[in-house]
Amino acid sequence: MTEANSEAIQSPIYQAIADRIDQIRSSIPETVRLVAVSKYTTAEAICAAYVAGVRDFGESRVQDAKIKQEELADLTDITWHMIGSLQSNKAKQAIAQFDWIHSLDRLSLAEQCDRLIGELKKSPKLLLQVKLAEDPSKSGWTEAELFADLPNLAKLSNLDIVGLMTILPLGLSDEQAYAVFCRVEKLAAKLRSLGWHRIQELSMGMSADYAIAARAGASMIRVGNQIFKL
C-alpha cells in the first residue's frame, strides 16, 4: 500500500465516500463506467475515491483540474475526463491534460480541436454533446443541427469521436428523463447506421438520474454530489 493510500484510509471522509460509491455501483450494471465528478472537491477526497476503486474523475475547468492533477501525479492510472463547457482559448490545455473530453459542443470547437490534435500529437477520446430536450441554459447540438454539421465533422480526421454526451434540463419527471435518454441512445444508433460506427459510448446521468440513465443504455455516468456530498 502506498503512502497516499494509507493516508486516504485514515482520512475521516474515506468511509463515507467508499460507502456511497458502493451504493452507486450496486444500483447500476457492472459494465457502466462511473466517472466521479470531482470539480468541487479536493485532492484528498479524490484520493479517498481512488482508494475505494474509482479510476475515472471528471472536472469542468481546465485550470482547477491542473492543480489537482499535479497534486495527484503519483496516481498514474487515473483517467481524467473534461466534462465542462470548453472555451476556445482553453482547448489546447484541455487536449494536453485530459484523456476524454465529453463536452465537444460546436463545429468551430471541433475544427479547432482537429488542428490542435494534429499539432500536439495527443488525441483524447471525444464525445459530441447533444441537447435533445429544450434547454436554453445548456449548450450542445440539437438533432437537426448535428445532422447539418455531420458532413463537416466527417472531414476532421484527427478527431477520435467515440460517443455522445448529454445533460438534462432541470425539473423533468423520471419518465421524461428516461424518454430523453432513450432518444440519445436512438440517435447514437442512427449515427452508427450512417457509418459512424465508433459512436458506442453514451455519457449520461448525474446524481439525480444516473440509475434512469443506466436503464436507458448509458455506458458512463457522471456523479459528483452523490459521492462527495458537497
Ligand X SMILES: *Cc1c(COP(=O)(O)O)cnc(C)c1O
- What residues make contact with ligand X under the rule CB under 6 A? 37, 39, 60, 83-84, 167, 206-207, 222-226
Alpha carbon distance 192, 198 (integer Å): 7
Whole-number minimum distance, CB 86 to ligand X, in Å? 11
Q: Which three cell numbers stand for residue 97?
A: 491534460
Whole-number minimum distance, CB 58 to ligand X, in Å? 6
Q: Which three cell numbers stand for residue 100?
A: 476524454
Whole-number minimum distance, CB 193 to ligand X, in Å? 27
**Of 120 and 172, which CB lies nearer to ligand X in the complex structure?**
172
**Of 35 and 187, which CB lies nearer to ligand X in the complex structure?**
35
* Chain-centre distance for alpha carbon 89: 20
Alpha carbon distance 196, 191 (integer Å): 5
**Of 6 and 62, which CB lies nearer to ligand X in the complex structure?**
62
> Cα(first)–Cα(last) distance of the chain, in Å?
28
Alpha carbon distance 9, 28 (integer Å): 25
Whole-number minimum distance, CB 230 to ligand X, in Å? 7
The torsion region of residue 177 among left (phi > 0), alpha (psi -120 to 50) and beta comes to alpha
Cβ atoms 2, 8 nearer than 8 A: no
Amino acid identity of 62?
V
**Of 75 and 223, which CB lies nearer to ligand X in the complex structure?**
223
Alpha carbon distance 138, 75 (integer Å): 33
**Of 144 and 170, which CB lies nearer to ligand X in the complex structure?**
170
- Match 484510509 to its residue by C-alpha cell: 9
* Residue of closest CB approach to ligand X: 224
**Of 163 and 224, which CB lies nearer to ligand X in the complex structure?**
224
Whole-number minimum distance, CB 167 to ligand X, in Å? 5
| DSSP string computed for 196-217 | -TT--EEE---TTTHHHHHHTT
Whole-number minimum distance, CB 51 to ligand X, in Å? 20
